[in-house]
Amino acid sequence: MNNHKLTKKLQVLLTEDEVASVNRCILNDAIETENRPISVSAWIRDLIKKELSLTSSEQQSYIKSKLKNLNNK
């Protein structure tokens, strides 16, 4: 993990079933990797980072395609 100071908090409201699913995912990951389970906060942080990196790639691709179309006009 990089050395950025974590300073902002986000709050998420989940149903009991959703919380159970998150905990199940965390435990399954721990069993598969033979490591201790990570915290829910760390798991959700990783999930958000993955989604942001995917979105960033998609946005860059979209912007490049739009710029290319503008240049062709």
Q: CA angle, corner 56, sides to 22 and 71, nearest 5?
A: 155
d(CA 69, CA 72): 5
pLDDT at 1 over 60: no
Q: Which pLDDT band, with edges at 50, 70 and 90, does 73 fall under?
A: low
Q: What is the pLDDT of residue 3?
A: 67
Q: Which residues contact 38 (CB under 8 A, 6 or more apart)?
A: 26, 29, 30, 46
d(CA 14, CA 24): 14
pLDDT tens string 3-43: 678 788 899 999 999 999 999 999 999 999 999 999 999 99
Q: What is the pLDDT of residue 56?
A: 75
Q: Are 30 and 36 in contact (CB under 8 A)?
A: yes
